[in-house]
């Protein structure tokens, strides 16, 4: 079963165009490297940035190895607290990617359910849900997140917040961005439900839920896949922006954003690497995701078939 | 007891310009194992009638009057749940284009077994073996391979066989086939029709065959009703309708068959088009296109008269145009 599915994938148009697209291959390789490296951070990283015993304040602000004052132990130098930058980046991108993926899963869950219901049943319910989406979209994600996170910190204190930071970020980013999914799914459902196969399954006597999830949803998967890649990148950027503003991950458990933030104060005193290196990592990560998203969009849209 | 009895069925579509009546006073009945044809041009209300039987008219349309008795039960009075247990289980439907009616992203097997899972408690293996058995009955070779294939991997005729097999899975007592061969290759059409006929006879399944082709109907069904602009204009045994048509519209349909034309000549046609629902003429709806139009046709709607075993709604019924349908068509040119 798995073998035949794999063979089918190897013979598919998707794989065919992937093999001929150098940018897509490169992006995919880079992305895989990121994923592997960050999720095996505890094995790969020379230090554990969460372990205070391994951190020596005397090691702070050591530049990367290739510079004059570089230290053999710290490949990419250290930050203000004396943490190895490479290890911190590995651990930090793990947090960033986790938040990105789970926030998008939440968005997708909310957006797909609402979009399906809205498109399939139509009428007043559709109107109501889509106006709700419009309202949600008229607030920018960052604004909602800043208000929500700031209020939470003020109410429950920073200590509890630091414990729950990852969950809170996932919730906030996930809830703020569902309308993108809902709109895309709804538009596709509207097109799909007019097709005869939907009549055919209604004639069979299936219930609405089964028709929506088993028959219509699989037919709207390709646009969902395309926006998912872009949305993960967006979620990572949102998280970084929030962390940069001091509302995201705490400094003790830095994500890429809070790492950039922590070095920002020292950028003019010459310690540029604390900000620039995680910054470059973030840009590359988001860039390859967007490139892959573009590739998927081109391949999965039959109207754009190129020779 | 009749298998299906439709009495004075009205279907209305609500619209901004007022209500549009898609079916008006439609009545017909079907005995168990009997085959009935519904004939008419596009827009005559054939498919609306089929969907009305299954209670699947989608908004803004609704059944505004009449009864649909299926095995003695009035389908218009059932709750959505009760209706769902009848759809696909007791009444199945086959559509025109098998490429459109099969879901492109699910395998044949998944789509077939779904009917069984929806209507009875059945294990996956048992559903699979029943589906394979039925695939064999519709003469599909190597059903095991077909079972795991996607619709696009099958040919048109094969797909329609799958659809027919799905309709037979639950042992329905009524199958509604809405132009089941129109989208198929001419060479396949006869095969599929024969198959449908054979299976219906074998299992004593009632069949409602919707088509615009009187030729097909005359080979498969025992009785037929002819519809025009939402009304039944003629109903009777197929033999009478083909050989002794009473309504000028039935004459027109018969004359339009390619077989009725001398090779090399233009095909006969009924002048004009079917009126739209919002613009149905006063009196008999067919009067602007009718060869035999009289003064009374423009003012009053004809009532049904029985002529022999047929029932016809025409003011001129029984007078001038009986006999060989060809005679009328030849006079035209």
Q: Do B178 and B264 reside in the same domain of the chain?
A: no
Q: Do B43 and B166 reside in the same domain of the chain?
A: yes
Is B173 within the bounds of a domain? yes
pLDDT at B155 (0 to 100): 86
Q: What is the mean pLDDT of residues A60-77?
A: 75
pLDDT at A47 (0 to 100): 78
**How are beta strands B206-211 and B174-178 bridged, if at all?**
parallel
pLDDT bin (cut points 50, 70, 90) of residue B319 is low
Q: Do B46 and B141 reside in the same domain of the chain?
A: yes
Distance CA A48, CA A88 (A): 8
Q: What is the mean pLDDT of residues A210-236?
A: 88
pLDDT at A28 (0 to 100): 92
**How close A24 gets to chain B, by Cα (Å)?**
26
Is B114 within the bounds of a domain? yes
Give the domain range for residue B257: 244-272+282-332
Q: Do B294 and B148 reside in the same domain of the chain?
A: no
List Cβ neighbours of A102 (8 Å cut-off, separation of 6 or more).
A170, A174
Residue of chain A minimizing CA distance to B166: A204
Q: What is the mean pLDDT of residues B174-185?
A: 86
**pLDDT, tens digit, 9 for 90 and up, residues B82-111:** 888 888 888 999 888 877 888 888 899 998
pLDDT at A307 (0 to 100): 46
Helices (H) and strands (E) in chain B, counts: 12, 12
Question: Chain A partners of B119 at a C-beta cutoff of 8 Å?
Answer: 205
Percent over 70 (pLDDT), chain B: 95
Q: Do B90 and B120 reside in the same domain of the chain?
A: yes
Q: Which residues of B touch A (CB under 8 A)?
A: 54, 56, 59, 84-89, 92-93, 95-97, 100-106, 114-115, 118-119, 163, 166
Residue of chain A minimizing CA distance to B82: A205
Mean pLDDT of chain B: 85
**How close B85 gets to chain A, by Cα (Å)?**
6
Q: Please report the sign of the dihedral spanned by the C-alpha atoms of residue A297, residue A300, residue A303, residue A305.
A: positive
Distance CA A33, CA A222 (A): 25
The structural domains of chain A, with segments of one domain joined by +, span 19-47+55-302
**pLDDT, tens digit, 9 for 90 and up, residues A172-208:** 888 888 999 999 999 999 998 888 888 888 888 888 8
Q: Do B164 and B311 reside in the same domain of the chain?
A: no
In this prediction the pTM is 0.76
**How close B145 gets to chain A, by Cα (Å)?**
13
Q: Do B171 and B267 reside in the same domain of the chain?
A: no
pLDDT at A302 (0 to 100): 60
Is B235 within the bounds of a domain? no
User: Would the CB atoms of B102 and A203 count as touching at under 8 Å?
Assistant: no
Question: Chain B partners of A207 at a C-beta cutoff of 8 Å?
Answer: 84
Short-list A299, A167, A171, CA closest to A223: A299
User: Would the CB atoms of A204 and B115 count as touching at under 8 Å?
Assistant: yes
pLDDT at B330 over 50: no
**How close B114 gets to chain A, by Cα (Å)?**
9
Distance CA A190, CA A200 (A): 16
pLDDT at B318 (0 to 100): 67
Q: What is the mean pLDDT of residues A285-306?
A: 80
List Cβ neighbours of A142 (8 Å cut-off, separation of 6 or more).
A238, A241, A242
Question: Chain A partners of B55 at a C-beta cutoff of 8 Å?
Answer: none
Q: Do B295 and B182 reside in the same domain of the chain?
A: no
Short-list A190, A175, A169, A138, CA closest to A254: A169
Q: Do B194 and B287 reside in the same domain of the chain?
A: no
Q: Do B306 and B169 reside in the same domain of the chain?
A: no
pLDDT at A303 (0 to 100): 62
Whether A14 contacts A299, CB under 8 Å: yes
**How close B295 gets to chain A, by Cα (Å)?**
43
pLDDT at B329 over 60: no
**pLDDT, tens digit, 9 for 90 and up, residues B221-258:** 999 999 998 889 999 999 888 888 888 888 888 888 87
For domain A19-47+55-302, give the CATH number: 1.10.3720.10
Tell me the C-alpha to C-alpha distance, in Å, between residue B210 and each of A257, B37, B39, B263.
66, 6, 6, 28
- Least confident range of A90-99, A108-117, B254-263: B254-263
Q: What is the mean pLDDT of residues A97-120?
A: 93
B contact test, residue of A3, A204, A206, A218 with most B CBs within 10 A:
A204
User: Would the CB atoms of B106 and A215 count as touching at under 8 Å?
Assistant: yes
A contact test, residue of B53, B55, B88, B180 with most A CBs within 10 A:
B88
Q: What is the mean pLDDT of residues A56-76?
A: 74
pLDDT at B217 over 70: yes
Question: Chain A partners of B96 at a C-beta cutoff of 8 Å?
Answer: 196
pLDDT at B321 over 70: no
User: Would the CB atoms of B105 and A205 count as touching at under 8 Å?
Assistant: no
The number of folded domains in chain B is 2
Q: What angle do CA B51, B57, B60 make, to 5 degrees?
A: 155
Q: What is the DSSP letter of B280?
A: P
Query: Within 10 A of B38 (CB to CB), how many other CB atoms are there?
Result: 27
Q: What is the mean pLDDT of residues B34-42?
A: 89
pLDDT at B322 (0 to 100): 47
List the CATH number of the domain containing B112.
3.40.50.300
Q: Is the ipTM of this complex over 0.85?
A: no
Q: Do B220 and B314 reside in the same domain of the chain?
A: no
Whether B132 contacts B147, CB under 8 Å: yes
- Least confident range of A155-159, A237-241, B235-239, B259-263: B259-263
Q: Do B295 and B199 reside in the same domain of the chain?
A: no
């Amino acid at each position: 079963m798995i073998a035949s599915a794999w063979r089918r994938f190897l013979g598919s148009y998707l794989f065919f165009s992937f093999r001929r697209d150098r940018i897509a291959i490169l992006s995919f390789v880079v992305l895989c490297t990121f994923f592997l490296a960050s999720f095996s951070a505890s094995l790969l990283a020379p230090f554990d940035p969460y372990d205070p015993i391994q951190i020596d304040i005397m090691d702070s602000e050591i530049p990367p190895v290739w510079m004059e004052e570089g230290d053999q132990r710290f490949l990419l130098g250290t930050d203000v607290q004396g943490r190895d930058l490479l290890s911190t980046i590995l651990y930090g991108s793990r947090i960033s990617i986790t938040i990105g993926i789970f926030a998008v899963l939440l968005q997708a869950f909310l957006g797909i359910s609402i979009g399906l219901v809205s498109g399939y049943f139509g009428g007043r319910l559709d109107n109501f849900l889509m106006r709700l989406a419009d309202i949600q979209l008229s607030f920018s994600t960052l604004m909602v997140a800043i208000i929500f996170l700031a209020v939470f910190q003020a109410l429950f204190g920073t200590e509890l917040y630091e414990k729950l930071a990852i969950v809170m970020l996932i919730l906030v980013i996930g809830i703020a961005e569902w309308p993108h999914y809902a709109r895309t799914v709804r538009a596709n459902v509207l097109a799909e439900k007019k097709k005869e196969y939907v009549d055919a399954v209604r004639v069979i006597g299936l219930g609405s839920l089964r028709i929506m999830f088993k028959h219509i949803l699989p037919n709207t998967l390709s646009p969902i896949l395309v926006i998912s890649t872009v949305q993960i990148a967006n979620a990572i950027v949102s998280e970084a922006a929030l962390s940069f503003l001091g509302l995201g991950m705490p400094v003790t458990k830095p994500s890429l954003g809070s790492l950039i933030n922590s070095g920002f104060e020292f950028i003019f005193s010459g310690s540029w690497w604390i900000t620039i290196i995680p910054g470059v990592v973030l840009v590359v990560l988001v860039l390859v995701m967007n490139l892959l998203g573009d590739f998927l969009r081109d391949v999965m849209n039959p109207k754009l078939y190129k020779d | 007891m009749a298998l299906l009895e439709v009495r004075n069925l009205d279907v209305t579509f609500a619209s901004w310009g007022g209500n549009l009546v898609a079916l008006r006073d439609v009545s017909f009945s079907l005995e168990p194992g009997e085959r009935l044809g519904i004939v008419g041009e596009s827009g005559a209300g054939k498919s609306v009638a089929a969907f009305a039987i299954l209670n699947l008219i989608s908004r803004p349309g609704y059944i505004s009057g009449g009864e649909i008795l299926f095995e003695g039960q009035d389908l218009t009075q059932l709750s959505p749940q009760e209706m769902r247990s009848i759809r696909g289980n007791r009444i199945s439907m086959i559509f025109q284009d098998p490429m459109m009616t099969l879901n492109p992203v699910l395998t044949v097997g998944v789509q077939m077994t779904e009917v069984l899972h929806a209507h009875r408690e059945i294990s996956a293996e048992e559903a699979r073996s029943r589906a394979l058995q039925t695939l064999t009955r519709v003469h599909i070779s190597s059903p095991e391979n077909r079972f795991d294939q996607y619709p696009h991997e099958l040919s048109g005729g094969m797909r329609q066989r799958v659809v027919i097999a799905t309709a037979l899975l639950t042992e329905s007592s009524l199958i509604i086939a809405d132009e089941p061969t129109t989208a198929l290759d001419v060479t396949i059409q006869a095969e599929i029709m024969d198959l449908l006929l054979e299976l219906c006879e074998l299992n004593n399944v009632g069949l409602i065959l919707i088509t615009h082709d009187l030729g097909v109907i005359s080979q498969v069904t025992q009785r037929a009703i002819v519809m025009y602009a939402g009304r039944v204009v003629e109903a009777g045994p197929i033999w009478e309708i083909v050989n002794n048509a009473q309504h000028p519209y039935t004459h027109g349909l018969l004359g339009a068959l390619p077989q009725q034309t001398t090779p090399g000549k233009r095909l006969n046609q009924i002048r004009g088009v079917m009126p739209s629902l919002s613009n149905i003429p006063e009196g008999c709806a067919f009067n602007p296109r009718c060869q035999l139009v009289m003064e009374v046709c423009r003012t009053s709607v004809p009532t049904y008269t029985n002529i022999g075993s047929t029932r016809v709604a025409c003011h001129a019924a029984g007078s001038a145009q009986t006999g060989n349908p060809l005679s009328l068509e030849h006079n035209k040119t």
